[in-house]
Amino acid sequence: MPEPLPARRLGRLSAAERAARLCDPGTFAREGATLRGADPSSPPGDGLVAGVGLVAGRPVTVIATDGRVLRGTLGAAGAALATRLLEAARRAAHPVVLLLDSDGARQREGLPAVTANARLLATLADLGGHVPRLAALFGAAAGSAAYALALSDLAVAIADRSFAFVAGPAVVTAALGESPTLDALGGTSRHAATGLLHATVPADDDALAWLRAALALLPSSAHDAAPFAAPRPASCLTALAAALPADTRQAWDFTRAIDAIADADSWLELAPAHGPSIRTGLARLAGRPLLLVTSAPTSLAGAIDAAASRKLARMVRLATAFGLPILTLADTPGFLPGTASEAAAVLCHGAAVIAAYAEASRWVPRVALVLRRAVGAGTVLAAEAEVVLALPDAAIAQMGDAALRAASAAAGLSLPEHAPLTPEEAGFAHRVIAPEAARAELERAFSRLPAPPPPPPGTRRLSLLPL
C-alpha cells in the first residue's frame, strides 16, 4: 500500500524556517501573516509563508507552502496573495523561489480555490523569460503544486522524500484501477530521469544551498547581468590534454574537461540523469557565469538521443532568455539512430536543439570547442557558434567511418582515397588550438565577443515554457 503522505512530512523544517534559511539572515519580510482563508480551520497566514528577502544581497520573492497546515493546500486567499507577489516580482525584476510541500488547490473551498490556483499558475507561466523561477520540493506536490514545479526554470527536490504527480495514488486507483506506490508514481528518481527535476539532494538545508548556488549564477532578470565573481587562480588549472585519452575510441570523464576549463568549484550540473550523453550546467569562466554544454562519451558514446535533445534545447533557451553566454564542448557521433530513437521522436527533439541554438545566435555570445569529433547533425553543437575552436586531432565528418562505408557500399559508391579535411581546412573551425591553451583561448574568445544586449523595455528575449 502507498505510504500515507503525512508520515513523510514529519521531522522537516517548517515553511517559515525554509524561507528564513534561504535568505540572508534577518532579511526575509513576510507578507500576509494574518491572512485568513475561507476555511474556518485555516490558521493565520492560511498555511502560506510568502514575502521578499535578500539572497547574497539581491532581492528574491519567496513563496513557501507548509505541508503540515491543511496538507499545504492553497485556498483562494493564499493563491491570490501568491499571485500578487508574482506580479510584483515581475515589476521589480527579481527572481522567484517556490518552496513546495502541497497537495495543490484546497478542494474543500470548491471552485473559488480552483480558479485562484489556475490564475496563480498562469501568472507563474507569464513570468517565463522575465525573471528566473526556481523551485524546491520538500514533500508532496500534487495537482496545481506539481504544475508550479513543472513551470519553474530550475527545480531541486529531496531524494526519496519528495513526490510530484498530477493526482495521488488514491485518485489513480479510483480512476484507473492501478495501485502505484508513491515512488513509482512520482518519486525523485522518476522525475530526475524525465527532466522535471534538475537536482536531487539529501536534506532540506542542501536544497536551500542548491537554490542559493543557482541564484548566484543567474541574473536577477532578463535585463540584468549575471553576478561576476573573482576567477580561480591559474595554479588550480588541470591540463585538458590529460583529460582526453590517446585512443579516440575510448570514453573519457567529462568532468575532467570541465575541471580544466571552468573556474574552480563553479560547476552546477543540471539534470544529470536526464539524457546523460549530453551534460549541461551553469559555471563560471574567468569569473563570468555561462551555460556549459559538453558531450559525455561514457553514455551512448556521446550520441544525442531524444532525452538529451530535450534537455539541451531547454537549457540553451534558458541561457538565451537570461543573456548567459554558451560554451559547448563537442565530442559526439551525432544524433542516435535506430527504431527506439525514432519512436522517441529524436527528429522532433533534435530539431528543437537546432532551433534553440539558432535562437541563441541573435542574443548571446557562443563559443564551441571540438574536442575529438562532431559527426553528422551533431555538428549543430558547434556550427552556430560565433567562434569555433578545435583540438589538433579533432575530426568533422558527415557520418562515422563504419556507417560511411556501409552507406557507400549500399549505394554502390567507392570512398575517396585521400585523407579527410581537418576542421580548419574545411572551414568549420576558425582555429586549431593546443589542449594546454584551451582555457586561455576560450577566455580570449569570449572577451572579444560583444556583451549580450538587453531586450527592449517590457519585453523578453524568449518566453520560457518547458519543452
- CATH code of 21's domain: 3.90.226.10
Asked whether residue 462 is domain-assigned, the answer is no
Q: Are strands 199-201 and 268-270 parallel, antiparallel or unpaired?
A: unpaired
CA-derived radius of gyration, the chain:
24
Asked whether residue 260 is domain-assigned, the answer is yes
Asked whether residue 430 is domain-assigned, the answer is yes
Asked whether residue 455 is domain-assigned, the answer is no
333/375 Cα distance (integer angstroms)? 5
187 and 259 within one domain: no
Find where cell 557558434 sits. Answer: 385
Asked whether residue 466 is domain-assigned, the answer is no
Asked whether residue 465 is domain-assigned, the answer is no
pLDDT digit string (tens) for the chain, length 467 residues: 334 444 444 557 999 999 999 999 999 999 999 888 777 777 778 889 999 999 999 999 999 998 888 889 999 999 999 999 999 999 999 999 999 999 999 988 999 999 999 999 999 999 999 999 999 999 999 999 999 999 999 999 999 899 999 988 888 888 998 888 889 899 999 999 999 999 999 999 999 999 999 999 999 999 999 999 998 754 455 678 888 887 877 899 999 999 999 998 999 999 999 999 999 999 999 999 999 999 999 999 999 999 999 999 999 999 999 999 999 999 999 999 999 999 999 999 999 999 999 999 999 999 999 999 998 888 999 988 999 999 998 988 875 555 444 444 455 545 455 556 677 877 889 999 999 899 999 999 999 999 888 898 888 998 766 55
* 230 φψ region: left (φ > 0), alpha (ψ -120 to 50), beta (else): beta
166 and 53 within one domain: yes
Of 151, 286, 132, 140, residue with least CA distance to 213 = 132
246 and 123 within one domain: no
272 and 331 within one domain: yes
The pLDDT assigned to 419 comes to 57
Under 8 Å between Cβ of 292 and 327: yes
Asked whether residue 147 is domain-assigned, the answer is yes
288 and 193 within one domain: no
First to last CA, the chain: 33
212 and 89 within one domain: yes
Under 8 Å between Cβ of 95 and 62: no
181 and 254 within one domain: no
294/302 Cα distance (integer angstroms)? 9
The pLDDT assigned to 241 comes to 81
The pLDDT assigned to 188 comes to 95
425 and 287 within one domain: yes
Of 446, 442, 434, residue with least CA distance to 240 = 434
Give me the domain span that covers residue 92: 5-216
The pLDDT assigned to 232 comes to 73
248 and 206 within one domain: no
Q: Which residues of 311-331 are buried (b: 16+ CB within 10 A; e: fewer)?
A: bbbbbbbbbbbbbbbbbbbbb
63 and 210 within one domain: yes
257 and 193 within one domain: no
The pLDDT assigned to 467 comes to 53
Domain count, the chain: 2
The pLDDT assigned to 465 comes to 62
Query: Cβ atoms within 10 A of the Cβ of 248, count?
Result: 15
181 and 36 within one domain: yes
Asked whether residue 141 is domain-assigned, the answer is yes
The pLDDT assigned to 238 comes to 63
